[in-house]
């Protein structure tokens, strides 16, 4: 079996796996890594970041910040030292003109758009073709409310973008909440930089339903670590008391990635286990830690500690189907879609419209690839309904397309717990988890 996720490897053949058991040390969280990098760059002082994720997405943030003149020094393994620019109004990066290529990293593109729009520089932000298909109009509209000068260089409402110096004014913004929580995250991080120290309170009002709320909670918690407090008023308004500025906490540790944990925990639930993931625990900041609760609803045996979570097969020996609102675990919900192949009954995953504006249209992609394995799938505008193949036997040797989407590759590796499966373009996992297949194979028993 090929284990490499090198870019010259076109496919990966996974044999049928009889059982899984073991311990996996998780890589750092992508969501936490990129938020901390940006906050450290904006803060007053030097921040030592421990256990930063090594991946394509964090590389895009590191490259962008360095291109903007932020001093970043690798010090040991995945540890970095960042000298902040002392971000306060008016915000100025050392480099006031740059052309930034941000790949397909939403956790880089959206927050950087907000921060740079409130700075006094000229910047061009672009990405891969898929990033230019991912909407950003709601964020741009919100930033224009305070005077930001942003121009679309292609299709209206989508990247690439041109940002010019502008007179920033006003202390209140309204933004839609039903497309991506990254828009609100970007505004929350940027808004403290829009008013002079000692100024009036700042406020962001959310229109409509706010999706992926745990990611907003994560942003607020990390901002607090850097000295800026946000008041969440019923998920409708977010208030930032005036006079706050980012200050380095000195040292900060990146939790293991809870979304990545979902693949190993699901493997334990499907394939016997137990499988333990280390680097997150019962008090994790990340919303996807609640994936373990979904597994429990499916009947899996789950245990938790301060820095670990463990999952194994249920006492009955099988998983049961669930009907779940997945707004709180949008990324990890993809793992549930594949776990549903091994559950008795029909599983329904609801409130996942955000899948359509991710690295690919994940609702379409997931339905198509589940069909290849013999599942009966109903795709709705914001839900997916999955019934295992009649008789419970998955189609053998299905070739799974991954759509340049890391989570498609990692999710469908779990199909090998039933049948041999081919994963096309396995290198897409480098976006967040370059050695995923090596760690997955380490817990398997063929």
Catalytic residues, which ones?
Answer: 331
Q: Which of 309, 302, 276, 317 has the alpha carbon at shortest distance from 443? A: 276
Reduced to 3 states (helix: H, G, I; strand: E, B; else coil), residue 442 is: helix
Rounded-to-5 percentages of helix, strand, coil across the chain = 35, 25, 40
**Half-sphere exposure in the Cβ direction for 145 (13 Å, CA):** 19
Q: Which of 28, 25, 37, 26 has the alpha carbon at shortest distance from 222? A: 37
Do the Cβ atoms of 163 and 91 come closer than 8 Å?
no
Do the Cβ atoms of 359 and 404 come closer than 8 Å?
yes
Q: Give the Cα separation of 165 and 118 in Å (integer).
A: 8
Q: Give the Cα separation of 278 and 260 in Å (integer).
A: 11
Return the DSSP state at 5. Answer: -
Please give the C-alpha separations between residue 446 and each of 193, 211, 441, 442, in angstroms, as whole numbers: 54, 40, 9, 11
Backbone angles phi, psi at 6, to 5 degrees: -60, 155
Q: How far is CA 22 from the centre of its chain?
A: 25
Please give the C-alpha separations between residue 86 and each of 50, 52, 248, 319, in angstroms, as whole numbers: 21, 22, 9, 52
Angle at Cα 445 formed by Cα 439 and Cα 446, nearest 5°?
110
Please give the C-alpha separations between residue 319 and each of 117, 294, 296, 373, 408, in angstroms, as whole numbers: 48, 11, 9, 18, 22
Sheet holding 421-424, edge to edge: 11-14, 421-424, 398-400
Would you say how long the chain is, in residues? Answer: 446
């Amino acid at each position: 079996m090929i284990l490499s996720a090198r870019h010259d490897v076109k496919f990966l053949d996974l044999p049928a796996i009889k059982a899984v058991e073991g311990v996996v040390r998780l890589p750092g969280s992508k969501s936490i890594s990129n938020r901390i990098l940006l906050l450290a760059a904006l803060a007053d002082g030097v921040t030592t970041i421990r256990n930063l994720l090594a991946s394509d997405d964090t590389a895009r943030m590191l490259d962008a910040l360095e291109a903007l003149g932020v001093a970043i020094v690798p010090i040991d393994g995945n540890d970095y030292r960042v000298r902040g620019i002392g971000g306060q109004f008016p915000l100025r990066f050392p480099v006031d003109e740059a052309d930034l290529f941000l790949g397909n990293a939403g956790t880089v593109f959206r927050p950087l758009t907000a921060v740079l729009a409130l700075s006094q520089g000229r910047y061009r932000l672009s990405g891969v073709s898929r990033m230019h298909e991912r909407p950003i109009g709601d964020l741009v509209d919100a930033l224009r409310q305070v005077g930001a000068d942003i121009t679309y260089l292609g299709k209206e409402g989508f990247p690439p973008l041109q940002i010019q110096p502008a007179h920033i004014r006003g202390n209140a913004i309204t933004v839609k909440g039903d497309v991506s929580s990254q828009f609100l995250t970007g505004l929350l991080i940027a808004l403290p930089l829009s008013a002079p120290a000692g100024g009036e309170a700042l406020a962001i009002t959310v229109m409509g339903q706010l999706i992926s709320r745990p990611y907003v909670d994560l942003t607020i918690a990390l901002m607090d670590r850097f000295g800026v407090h946000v008041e969440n008023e019923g998920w409708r308004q977010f208030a930032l008391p005036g006079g706050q500025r980012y200050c380095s906490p000195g040292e900060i540790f990146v939790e293991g990635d809870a979304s990545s944990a979902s693949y190993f925990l699901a493997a334990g639930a499907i394939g016997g286990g137990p499988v333990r993931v280390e680097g997150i625990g019962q008090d994790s900041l990340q919303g996807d830690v609640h994936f373990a609760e979904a597994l429990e609803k499916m009947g899996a045996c789950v245990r938790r500690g301060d820095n670990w979570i463990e999952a194994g097969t249920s006492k009955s020996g099988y998983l049961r189907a669930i009907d779940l609102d997945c707004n709180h675990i949008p990324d990890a919900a993809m793992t549930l879609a594949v776990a549903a192949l091994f559950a008795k009954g029909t599983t329904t995953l609801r409130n996942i419209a955000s899948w359509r504006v991710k690295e690919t249209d994940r609702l379409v992609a997931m339905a198509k690839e589940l069909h290849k394995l013999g599942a009966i799938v109903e795709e709705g505008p914001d839900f997916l309904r999955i019934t295992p193949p009649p008789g419970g036997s998955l189609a053998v040797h299905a070739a799974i397309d991954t759509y340049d989407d890391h989570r498609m590759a990692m999710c469908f590796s779990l199909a090998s717990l039933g049948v041999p499966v081919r994963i096309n373009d396995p290198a897409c996992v480098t976006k967040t988890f370059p050695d995923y297949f090596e760690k997955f194979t380490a817990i398997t028993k063929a």
